[in-house]
Amino acid sequence: MIPPIHKWYPMLGVADYPTKTDALERRTERLEEEYKQALKMKKVKDKIDDLEFELYVKKAQRNQLALEIFTNRKVDILA
């Protein structure tokens, strides 16, 4: 009987050679990291938008008060 080939020449997988599962794992890790960064950026952008709106409202209130203070009314003129 002839012994099988793998007895004399064992078949070993190359450890350093990337496989499809390695590439898939790296891709999923990269996409998860990008998603986390996108969530962080969205939170920061939402905070910035809220602060900009708050500043806009305060500026509008200040302008409205300035208009009320320096507006001459008929009642003020007659008094």
pLDDT in tens, 11-70: 666 667 767 788 889 999 999 999 999 999 999 999 999 999 999 999 999 999 888 877
Residue 72 belongs to some domain of the structure: yes
Residue 1 belongs to some domain of the structure: no
d(CA 39, CA 37): 5
Cut 0.75: pTM above it? no
Residue 4 belongs to some domain of the structure: no
Residue 12 belongs to some domain of the structure: no
Which residue would you say has higher pLDDT here, 71 or 51? 51
Residue 66 belongs to some domain of the structure: yes
Question: In the prediction, which pLDDT does 11 show?
Answer: 65
Residue 5 belongs to some domain of the structure: no
The upper half-sphere exposure of residue 35, i.e. CA atoms within 13 Å in the direction of its Cβ, equals 6
List the domain range (segments joined by +) for residue 50. 19-78
| Tally of domains in the chain | 1
Residue 45 belongs to some domain of the structure: yes
Averaged pLDDT, 5-13:
65
